[in-house]
Amino acid sequence: QVQLVESGGGLVQAGGSLRLSCAASGSIFSPNTMGWYRQAPGKQRELVAIITSGNNTNVADSVKGRFTISRDNAKNTVYLQMNSLKPEDTAVYYCNFRKWASNYWGQGTQVTVSS
């Protein structure tokens, strides 16, 4: 079992920044992938960014150039630095952890961007 604890969500004005953190604990093995997905009301959950334990990344086109994903393997923590935030970024952001065929999700953290 893997437990994910998220932090960093909140309310920010358009153009501002937030930094999300997600710490994983439990049966952590490498290789693995950690990342962020988001879901707005009435919309499907979508990938934001993922990063492997080898630091390979995949970032959605909608946030590329504005969001940066990184991880600290010593802390089993993934970060999402969100800059130049737009109202369209408003959503619940979910931390994700994948190892082999196992898939774990955080509880979600609300990010609200006001215009």
SS3 content of the chain, % helix, strand, coil (to 5): 5, 60, 40
Give CA separation, 52 vs 56, 59, 70, 78, 92, in Å.
Answer: 5, 12, 9, 10, 22
pLDDT of res. 90: 98
The tokens for 27 are 């049966």
Q: How many CA atoms lie within 13 A of 76 on its CB side?
A: 18
pLDDT digits (tens, 9 = 90+) for 8-66: 999 999 999 999 999 999 999 889 999 999 999 999 999 999 999 999 999 999 999 99
- Note the pLDDT of residue 2: 95
pLDDT of residue 97: 97
Residue 20 in contact with residue 93, Cβ under 8 Å?
yes
pLDDT the model gives residue 43? 96
Return the SS3 of 48.
Answer: strand
* pLDDT tens-digit series, residues 79-95: 999 999 999 999 999 99
pLDDT score for 102? 93
pLDDT of residue 89: 98
- pLDDT confidence of residue 45: 97
Looking at residue 95, what is its pLDDT? 98
Q: What is the C-alpha separation between 45 and 74, in angstroms, rounded?
A: 29
